[in-house]
Amino acid sequence: MFRPLSISMPSDREIVVTRDFAAPPDLVFDCWTIPALIRRWLGPADWVMTVCEFDARVGGKWRFFSRGPDGFEVGHGGTILELDRPRWIKSSERYDMDWTGGETLNSNAFTAIETGTRSVLTVLYASKEARDGAAATPMAEGMEAGFGRLDALLLGMPSG
């Protein structure tokens, strides 16, 4: 059975986003780490990702830069701290316009389940205020829209 996106806040500084995908962990992992695939699902549908770099190795850098239909631009990036394909990615993240109150640590675990893969993304913010600021945005709606595009992308990929 499909499990929709869920968001929880298990501590004062964390947001945990859980979402199931109907594809094996290696394909889901690849969609989070291969730039040509990332471009096809990440970010708002009406935005253009002008920079998409992801060096999928420990110590590697990643960088995304996107432009909205009104010309507004958002850039963010970080460093890969841990990586165990297809089970785990941990990275730092900082936005160019630092609306998150400093660097965050993002940990994404990919677990095989009967129907495919469960992704559990934990974002650790610098402070409770930063976490609350992020939680007050339409983050859930935006993530679910991107994950819907990821569902469609995964559906078209060969699974083995």
Residues 6+ apart with CB under 8 A from 108: 32, 88, 89, 90, 119, 120, 121, 122
Spell out the per-residue pLDDT of the chain, length 160, in tens.
456 799 999 999 999 999 999 999 999 999 999 999 999 999 888 999 999 999 999 999 999 999 999 999 999 999 999 999 999 999 999 999 887 788 999 999 999 999 999 999 999 999 999 999 989 988 888 899 999 999 999 999 887 5
User: Which class would CATH give 6-155?
Assistant: alpha beta
Model confidence, pTM: 0.92
